[in-house]
């Protein structure tokens, strides 16, 4: 009988966080080059040596993408309610509090209004540092509200994903964020608003299998793991030999699941062009 895990959080390929946990965060896990913070920041946190894309925090992503000073954050105050009173080795509430302190975020997503290359848009950016970017009630709610605000203002939604999947500690309610966000995208479509999704490492499980895959245009950063089930579970379950680039952006492009792979530097002008193309009245 095959394992039933399909939401586990895994990493693989170029950005090998697992082994780099102890390393200096400014040392490239791919080529070993080390950078000063300001060097790396100037390079958009892409290794100038080998092109490795270091993980980006949500606020760093916003700063890189939007026209300076145009981002107005929304719904900052939303917090999870621990619906199950969940306790594994520690209470869920404790895990959340810790994540809040360490990330400075209320949950794994930041939403807001912004301009990209002088075009208005609604933005939603996930942050993997907050409990693996997992989707619980707050991520689902903020994504849904981002869709609704976009629909109200007839603006495109630009979403940057990074997620290990569902927030297991919210049990079945975390699973329900999948149909919830899908319904929100349905509203967005009905309102004839464009939806662009930028998948970054990693975008897996419940997020990949809901709103993230419904973008009109879907692009990804190089070397990102984008798979519903992670490679370790696939390997263990099926005993199949995995292709070297299993689940990575590059194989996803080849297999027809992405419109393009863009380096971090190409992202903003690309989104600017798309926003201009989709700027239309009804």
Partner 1 sequence: MARRRRQPPGASAAEQLRLRDRLARLTDLPLLRGAGVSGEMARLRRQLERIAAEPTEDDVWRAVELARHQARPYTLDYAERILDDFVELHGDRSLGDDHAIVAGLGRFRGATVALVGHQKGRDIHERTRRNFGMAMPEGYRKAMRVMEIADRHGFPVLSLVDTPGAYPGVSAEQHGQGGWIARSQLAMARLCVPTVACVIGEGGSGGAVAIALADRVLMQENAIYSVISPEGCAAILWRDAGEAKKAAAAFKPDARHCLELGVIDAIVPEPAGGAHANHDEAARLLAAALEAALAEVAGLEADERRRARRAKFRAMGELTA
Task: Identify what 52 binds: partner 1, Zn ion, none; CB under 5 to 8 Å per kind.
Answer: Zn ion
Cβ proximity to Zn ion: between 33 and 60 the closer is: 33
103 and 127 Cβ atoms separated by less than 8 Å: yes
Q: How far is the CB of 81 from partner 1 (least distance, A)?
A: 4
Residue 101, strand partner residues: none
Task: Identify what 63 binds: partner 1, Zn ion, none; CB under 5 to 8 Å per kind.
Answer: none
Kind plus residue range of the DSSP H or E element containing 20: helix 17-20
* Binds partner 1 (CB under 8 A): choice among 159, 166, 220, 267: 166
Q: Cα-atom radius of gyration of the chain, to the nearest Å?
A: 18
Residue 166: phi and psi, rounded to 5, are -75, 155
Q: Select the span of 15-23, 30-38, 46-54, 177-185 touching partner 1 (CB under 8 A).
A: 177-185
Angle between helices 58-65 and 264-277 (to 10 degrees): 60
* Binds partner 1 (CB under 8 A): choice among 44, 157, 258, 267: 258
Cβ within 8 Å of residue 77, ≥6 positions away: 106
Task: Please tell me whether residue 113 binds partner 1 under the rule CB under 8 A.
Answer: no
Q: Select the span of 29-37, 44-52, 109-117, 274-282 touching partner 1 (CB under 8 A).
A: 274-282
Task: Please tell me whether residue 197 binds partner 1 under the rule CB under 8 A.
Answer: no
What is the C-alpha separation between 149 and 169, in angstroms, rounded?
Answer: 28
The two three-digit tokens of residue 205, written as one number: 């499980």
Residues that bind Zn ion (CB under 5 A): 28, 30-31, 33, 47, 49-50, 52
Task: Identify what 41 binds: partner 1, Zn ion, none; CB under 5 to 8 Å per kind.
Answer: none
Q: How many residues bind partner 1 (CB under 8 A)?
A: 90
Residue 173: phi and psi, rounded to 5, are -65, -30
Q: How far is the CB of 106 from partner 1 (least distance, A)?
A: 10
What is the C-alpha separation between 107 and 129, in angstroms, rounded?
Answer: 10
Q: Select the span of 14-22, 25-33, 123-131, 250-258 touching partner 1 (CB under 8 A).
A: 250-258
The two three-digit tokens of residue 113, written as one number: 């209004």
Q: How far is the CB of 161 from partner 1 (least distance, A)?
A: 11
* Binds partner 1 (CB under 8 A): choice among 65, 121, 234, 248: 234
126 and 133 Cβ atoms separated by less than 8 Å: yes
Q: How far is the CB of 32 from Zn ion (least distance, A)?
A: 7
């Amino acid at each position: 009988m095959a394992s039933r895990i399909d939401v586990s959080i895994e990493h693989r390929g170029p950005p090998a966080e697992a082994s780099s946990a102890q390393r200096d965060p400014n040392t490239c896990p791919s080529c070993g080059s080390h950078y000063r913070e300001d060097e790396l920041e100037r390079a958009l946190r892409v290794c100038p040596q080998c092109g490795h894309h270091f993980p980006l925090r949500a606020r760093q992503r916003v700063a890189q993408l939007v026209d300076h000073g145009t981002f107005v954050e929304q719904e900052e105050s939303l917090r999870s309610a621990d619906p199950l009173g969940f306790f594994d080795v520690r209470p869920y509430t404790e895990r959340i509090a810790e994540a809040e302190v360490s990330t400075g975020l209320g949950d794994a997503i930041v939403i807001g209004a912004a301009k990209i290359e002088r075009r208005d848009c609604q933005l939603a950016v996930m942050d993997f540092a907050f409990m693996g970017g997992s989707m619980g009630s707050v991520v689902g709610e903020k994504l849904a509200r981002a869709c609704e605000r976009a629909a109200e203002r007839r603006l495109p939604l630009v979403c940057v994903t990074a997620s290990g999947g569902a927030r297991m500690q919210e049990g079945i309610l975390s699973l329900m964020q999948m149909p919830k966000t899908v319904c929100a995208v349905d509203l967005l479509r009905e309102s004839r608003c464009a939806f662009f999704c930028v998948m970054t490492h990693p975008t897996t499980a419940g997020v990949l299998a809901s709103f993230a895959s419904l973008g009109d245009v879907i692009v990804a950063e190089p070397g990102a793991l984008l798979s519903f089930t992670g490679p370790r579970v696939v390997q263990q379950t099926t005993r199949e030999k995995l292709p070297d680039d299993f689940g990575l952006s590059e194989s996803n492009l080849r297999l027809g699941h992405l419109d393009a792979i863009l380096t971090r530097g190409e992202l903003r002008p690309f989104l600017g062009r798309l926003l201009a193309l989709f700027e239309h009245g009804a």
